[in-house]
A and B are shown apart, each in its own frame.
Chain A
Amino acid sequence: MSLKNIILERDKYLIPLIVGFIPFLFLMLFYFYPLAGIFIRSFFDQNNFTLQGILSFNLLNFLKIFKSSRILSIIWFTFWQASLSTILTLIVALPCSYVMGTFEFKGKKLIMTLATLPFVLPTIVVAASFQIIPSLIQDMALLLLNSQVVNLLLGDILKNSLLDNQFLNVFKNEYPIVMIFFAHVFYNFSVVLRITSSFWSSFSKDMKEAASILGASSFQIFFKVTLPLLRPAIFASAMLVFIFCFSSFGVVLILGGPSFSTIEVEIYRQAAHLFNLPVASTLSLSQILFTFGMMLLYTRMQKKIAMFTPESEKFSLKKPCSAIEKLLVSLSILFILLLCGLPMVALLLKSIYYKGTLSLIFYRELFLNSSGSIFYVSPVVAISNSLIFASITLIMALIVGGCAAILIKQCSYKDQNLGININSRINRKLTIKKYISSLQILFGKMLEPIFMLPLSTSAVTLGFGMIITLDKPPLNLRTSLFLIPIIHTLVAFPFVVRAVLPALKSIPLSLKEAASIMGASPFRVWLHIELPIIARALSIGAVFAFTVSLGEFGAALFAARPEFTTMPITIYKLLGQPGIMNYGQAMAMSSILMLVTSIGFIFIESIRQFGHEGF
């Protein structure tokens, strides 16, 4: 082999190496380093950093923590509520996703946007809006019932039964466990909807027609053809939902009340209030390890999801024709409107309802610094802060996430080739080289889970870690403006990876080679071929990054400069003191948050035209 060939060969890996370096550096600096810092700090006394200390710590702490029946019951609760929440979300979302993946109708984009909006709402606001719903429904029912016609038709019995409807009491937080499930479904509905409906829509009609010619009833088609094809998408979305619910914090803390606690909530309690860092760290570590295992499983599921080349991507969407189809479409629209729309409408109404009349007083008040506080932030500033952070997050998440996706793709590509060859030589002696290459495979397989980890890491642990590690120049970021987008990016970039990876994998190699032969340098191949094809997937990642950043309540994570106040932080601040003006302003701010998010959504979605939707 000539020297030149070696250089050429290396050149092929050099660019991926540089590309892969970006997400790694990012994760190392802002994730693993702070975590390692807090773990070391809490497990070992700084003076007692000896081998003996390490050995004695492990056994002692783990035993002590996992012996406690309270902790065990918390772990048990975390598991079963996450499982049940996931199943419920699937049950609710799959029928809707069938409709969204099969039919084309007016206003579909709007409905999909609406379904994704819950993502940004702070938990406390959602809790408040849930509580408004029963009275809202009762008011509407009353209005209806008081009209003469209905009254004649239905009579008093129904009216009364409606007025003290037991079902509505669920929303009054009498059954916190029901509220937890309800909120989890509310938040995660769109995850399942988006992933599965895009796969549903890419099944060609031919497949179903072929099955029906072969004599399958529509029932059989569903169970024998559609469902197995859809299974990977269902598993993938179920896994994401499970991980979200597994590390659920705000929902359980605020809606569930103190009688329910997930591992995440317990970590917060131990770290922030009891200052019991060893316990908190042990729990975080086990949570991270568990999540890593789940992600590994998830990644395997994802790999099995059929890849659709852009050419086969003729969506088989049709307009609803028959009465049943029309009914299906309107039912699911109604359902999404009720599930996602109603709480938001409730919020909106609450924000313009003052002493029995409609008024914009809360909005006006938002613009006044009536107490003269130095921490007053006008909504304009809060909105622009939020938008700035969201935009920086969007860009950073696209860069970090995009690079991570390229790296994962590069590794999995090698993995496939090696895998085949190793299997064919399974009987031969295992050489050191082979060992190294199998390590490489292992590394490639671990990449995806590693890039998903920040999604489910206890925020308070990470926040404390950042305080003790990022404390010296040049990394003295603890009070920096950039820490906010960095933290948001940490949570947002896994979404970009999820969105971009399938699209990247769906590009046939021959497209890039064809471009290269026609004289396009590697960079121009990327610019003219790969980038436009993944543009749509990137825009989906961008939507999620933007949303995550807008809704993220990251202030408690670190020492924040009050000047950097964002919309969710303003909402929390307003709810910190008694008085109807504060409450009303919080509702008004929440409505503004929803509005800004929707506009952002519609703007980003309008950019996408073409491509492959994944997650």
Chain B
Amino acid sequence: MNELVIKNLCVKDRELSADAAYKGEFEYILKDINISINRGDSLSILGPSGCGKTTLLRTIAGLQNPYSGEIFFRQKNMADVPTHKRNFGMMFQDFALFPHKNVFQNISFGLEMKKLSKKEIALRVQEMLELVNLEQYGKRDIRELSGGERQRVALARTLAPSPDLIMLDEPLGALDKQLRERLLDDLRFILNRSISKIAKTEKIKSNLNQIEVNNAITTIWVTHDHNEAFAVSDIVCVMSSGKVEQIDSTENLRNRPANRVVADFLGL
């Protein structure tokens, strides 16, 4: 079953809409994007910086309006669902941790928005802190944290409200190489564990989908590093200058790059 379907999506320079429409010429940031992912898929969006990866994520999240085209999530058109009602999760490139809140408060933010009881929140936050190995960090100030710690807090914050779709925008981009390699493994491990956890609780709560219990959460991972992309996902989407060059399984991509651009970017 298709979890997320993106049909003919175009996004253009948002501030110039009236002007551009008047002249009939547009500067596309995204042009005619078509993607569909199944529930539980892990998709990587791969491309050089400036190719529109982040814009694509933001459009899916509803932070940016598409110029044309549609986004369906679980068969529902997302056009009139505002960002805060989509129940997605996103980890920002700069982590976007709230500087005026401590670690605990950052992680609990999404849970409070869901109006969970204090007890539930405390439990869930503790669970998340354990998941990212920061059990003792609840009261720490954000500014006291190292880069790697921040990354893990950001991840915990993203996962805490059990989002239906998790998006990670260059989650390792801000870190140095050694740390990246170490954290990449951590991240995969945590994601897999949490996904199964979330799925289990979901299952208990609602009896919706019992078929794909162990692999229920869809993730989209944006990166410019093909090693990272191949390491974390089943499907990779290669983009350049606002267009999808190829979307395929990692295997197919490696063996049969669709064109020169893809091949070059994958370093083949």
Contact = CB atoms under 8 A, between A and B. Distances in A.
A431 B79 CA distance: 31
A566 to B, nearest CB: 36
A418 B15 contact: yes
B123 interface: no
A516 B63 contact: yes
A437 B67 contact: no
A513 B19 CA distance: 26
B140 interface: no
A1 B109 contact: no
Contact of A311 (B93, B99, B161): B99
B65 A9 contact: yes
B15 A421 contact: yes
Contacts of A518: 84, 89, 109-110, 113, 157, 161
A433 B16 CA distance: 10
A521 B84 contact: yes
Contacts of A417: 15-16
B90 interface: yes
Nearest to B18: A433
B186 interface: no
B22 A517 contact: no
Chain A interface, DSSP helix/strand/loop, else mixed = helix
Nearest to B92: A510
B63 A519 contact: no
Given A8-B65, A431-B22, A519 B110 contact: yes
Contact of B109 (A431, A513, A528): A528
A529 B98 contact: yes
Given A4-B79, A519-B85, A520-B84, A514 B19 contact: no
Given A515-B109, A518-B109, A519-B113, A4 B80 contact: yes
A610 interface: yes
A519 B161 contact: yes
A450 to B, nearest CB: 23
A185 to B, nearest CB: 37
A524 B114 CA distance: 12
Contacts of A311: 99, 142-143
B19 A431 contact: yes
B23 interface: yes
Contact of B79 (A5, A313, A521, A524): A5
A484 to B, nearest CB: 36
A1 B69 CA distance: 9
Nearest to B114: A519
A514 B83 CA distance: 10
B80 A433 contact: no
Given A514-B90, A516-B84, A518-B113, A421 B13 contact: yes
A519 B87 contact: yes
Contacts of A528: 109
Question: Which of B22, B83, B110, B142 has the most chain A CB within a 10 Å cutoff?
Answer: B83
Interface string A412-456: 001001100100000000010110010000000000000000000
Contacts of B92: 510, 513-514
Given A517-B84, A517-B90, A519-B84, A431 B23 contact: yes
B79 A2 contact: yes
Interface residues of B, number: 42
Contacts of A4: 79-80
Interface string B149-178: 000000001000100000000000000000
B94 A510 contact: yes
A120 interface: no
A414 B100 contact: no
Contact of B113 (A1, A437, A520, A532): A520
Contacts of B83: 513, 516-517
B137 interface: no
A562 interface: no
Nearest to B63: A513
A2 to B, nearest CB: 7
Interface string B20-36: 01110000000000000
A533 B142 CA distance: 14
A533 B100 CA distance: 7
Contacts of A533: 99-100
A293 interface: no
A15 to B, nearest CB: 13
A533 B98 CA distance: 9
A1 B66 CA distance: 9
Question: Which of A314, A508, A514 has the most chain B CB within a 10 Å cutoff?
Answer: A514
A511 interface: yes
A310 interface: yes
Interface in B63-89: 63, 65-68, 79-80, 82-89
A593 B16 CA distance: 54
Nearest to A531: B100
Interface string A1-24: 110110011000000000000000
A516 to B, nearest CB: 5
Given A433-B19, A514-B96, A518-B157, A5 B88 contact: no
Contacts of B109: 515, 518, 520, 528
A329 B65 CA distance: 55
Given A518-B109, A519-B85, A511 B96 contact: yes
B199 interface: no
Contacts of A521: 82, 84
Nearest to B113: A519
Contacts of A310: 99-100
Interface in B1-58: 13, 15-19, 21-23, 58
B146 to A, nearest CB: 13
Interface string A493-534: 000000000000000101101111111111011001100110
A515 B101 CA distance: 12
Interface string A74-112: 000000000000000000000000000000000000000
Contact of B96 (A8, A421, A434, A510): A510
Given A431-B22, A514-B90, A5 B157 contact: no
Nearest to A513: B63
A350 B6 CA distance: 80
A421 B67 contact: no
Interface in A140-173: none
Contacts of A433: 18-19, 22
B61 interface: yes
Question: Which of B63, B86, B89 has the most chain A CB within a 10 Å cutoff?
Answer: B63
Contact of B94 (A421, A508, A519): A508
B45 to A, nearest CB: 17
Contact of A418 (B16, B79, B114, B157): B16
A517 B15 contact: no
A510 B174 CA distance: 15
A240 to B, nearest CB: 28
A462 to B, nearest CB: 38
A512 to B, nearest CB: 9
Contacts of A532: 100
Contacts of A8: 65, 80, 82
Nearest to B58: A513
A414 B15 CA distance: 7
7 contacts: A1-B17, A4-B80, A431-B19, A437-B18, A514-B98, A517-B89, A610-B100
Identify the 10 closest CB pairs spanning chains A and B, nearest first: A518-B110, A519-B113, A510-B96, A417-B15, A514-B96, A310-B99, A516-B83, A532-B100, A517-B90, A510-B92
Given A434-B19, A513-B96, 18 more contacts: A5-B65, A5-B66, A8-B82, A9-B17, A9-B65, A310-B99, A437-B18, A513-B63, A514-B90, A517-B61, A517-B86, A518-B89, A519-B87, A519-B161, A520-B109, A520-B113, A528-B109, A610-B100
